[in-house]
Amino acid sequence: MITVNSKQVVDEVLCHGNPSYIPLGTYAIDCDIAERILGHKTYVRDKVGTWLALQAGRRDEVVQSLKEDSVELFRKLPCIDVIIAFKEAALLPPVNAPVPVMNKLNDTTWQAEDGTVYQISYESNDVTIVAYPQREYSPEDFAGRDFSAPDESVYEAYDYLTAAMRGDRFLVGCAGGFEVMPMPGGMENGLALYLLEPGTIQAAIQQNVAHGRFLDRYYIRKGIDQVFVEMDPATTRAPLISPELFRQLCLPAMKERIEHIKRFRDRVFLHSCGNTLSLMDMFIEAGVDCNQSLQTGAGMDIGVLKERYGDKMVYWGGVSVEKLIVGTPEDVRQDVRDAFGKAAHDGGFILGPSHSIAYGTKYDNFMAMIDEHDKLKYKIGG
């Protein structure tokens, strides 16, 4: 009997061939589920804990946890075929970087020296920017910037996981950035600039593209199989800007970034939340090979996508993250069965959640997804 590994199977899927089985990928596994599997506390995907530890100067402690625990986590989950290596084994500040000075406003809110306000949520285990410095932007703000090579220590945990899993799983790594739809000054201010100051947006995009091209040689690491980029251009109802404006301002940058990334690897995965149906043709035109994060609650039905674009795009998803959090194990199993029925034919499909194994996911629901996938993975005819 000829055995195949995750890398071979995902390669078959990306070529729109007939895989030996339907692979499973999870995008990221947040710390509550990771800790349940590991049996101990971890900084893996503990966004609040990691942020606070770095603020306290405990970088070494975080790095050691990310290294050891990310490897142990995936050793205990051999069913996961696709690993996005920089999610569990996150990139961190350089080893000798000074700790940013923060003014603690209250138990959950801090203000940086530049006026940016950060807020942590223990309920969602997240850190968000809730206020940006008040300023006006012009094209001159995005001109004449010099770029410098990153310190190699930022990749400590990332490289460690990659070395441990190389050849065993299909590893997807990061690029030098993919800010092709920037929002200077935050979402509200940024969206206004798209309508009122498109020249400023174009300047920001051009700088981001140049920076990404410069950094690709450092961020696209040895040992990864393909590259994963991220962009969230839509709400659950529609794109944040019109498809026409996206085509005019953002699509050329997408094409340029993907073309440059493909000098290093030949496939690009895109994480893109929201209802992006009206942008899908442009994603394909830009050179995206696999679309991850099919937000079912936003109308991104894998059956519709497979029918319309299945010969041009690989789709990764099918299990509602909402059901993983608030549903029952049977709800999750039904999502797996439905996804197989709609997409497990003619290649081009990776099963996974519609976003991540998000904080608050029920352990029994996570295990139900894995178990149902294991039952059906070889039934590639749907």
Count other C-beta atoms under 10 Å from residue 335's C-beta: 26
Residues 329-342 have a mean pLDDT of 97
- Give the tokens for residue 20: 């030996």
Burial code of 102-128, b = ≥16 C-beta within 10 A, e = fewer? eeeeeeeebeeeeebbbebeeeebebe
- Give the tokens for residue 355: 């976003």
- Whether the per-residue pLDDT at 185 is higher than 90: the answer is yes
How far, in Å, are 171, 190, 381 from residue 186 at the CA level?
Answer: 32, 6, 45
- Whether the per-residue pLDDT at 382 is higher than 80: the answer is no
Pairing relationship of beta strands 109-112 and 268-271 according to DSSP bridges: unpaired
Residues 2-9 have a mean pLDDT of 81
Going by pLDDT thresholds of 50, 70 and 90, the confidence category of residue 144 is confident
Residue 354 has what pLDDT?
95
What is d(CA 380, CA 343) in angstroms, rounded to the nearest whole number?
9
- Whether the per-residue pLDDT at 381 is higher than 70: the answer is no
* 300, 308 contact by CB (below 8 A): no
- Whether the per-residue pLDDT at 2 is higher than 80: the answer is no
* 188-200 pLDDT, tens digit each: 999 999 999 999 9
**Of the candidates 1, 76, 21, which has an alpha carbon nearest to the alpha carbon of residue 376?**
21
Residues 324-350 have a mean pLDDT of 96
DSSP letter for each residue of 176-230:
S---SS--TTSHHHHHHHHHH-HHHHHHHHHHHHHHHHHHHHHHS-TT-SEEEEE
Amino acid at 356: S
The CATH class for the domain spanning 6-96+142-376 reads alpha beta
pTM across the whole model: 0.96
Going by pLDDT thresholds of 50, 70 and 90, the confidence category of residue 60 is very high
**HSE-CB of 232 using CA atoms within 13 angstroms:** 11
* 119, 173 contact by CB (below 8 A): no
How far, in Å, are 12, 21, 80, 351 from residue 4 at the CA level?
Answer: 11, 10, 14, 18
Residue 165 has what pLDDT?
96
* 212-268 pLDDT, tens digit each: 999 999 999 999 999 999 999 999 999 999 999 999 999 999 999 999 999 999 999
* 17-45 pLDDT, tens digit each: 999 999 999 999 999 999 999 999 999 99
- Whether the per-residue pLDDT at 328 is higher than 80: the answer is yes
Residue 3 has what pLDDT?
55
Residues 282-298 have a mean pLDDT of 95
Residue 225 has what pLDDT?
98
**Of the candidates 19, 26, 67, which has an alpha carbon nearest to the alpha carbon of residue 43?**
67
Residue 73 has what pLDDT?
98
Instruction: Please state the domain extents for the chain.
Output: 6-96+142-376
Higher per-residue pLDDT: 167 or 170: 170
* First vs last C-alpha separation in the chain: 24
Residue 312 has what pLDDT?
96
How far, in Å, are 100, 242, 294, 343 from residue 353 at the CA level?
Answer: 35, 27, 8, 14
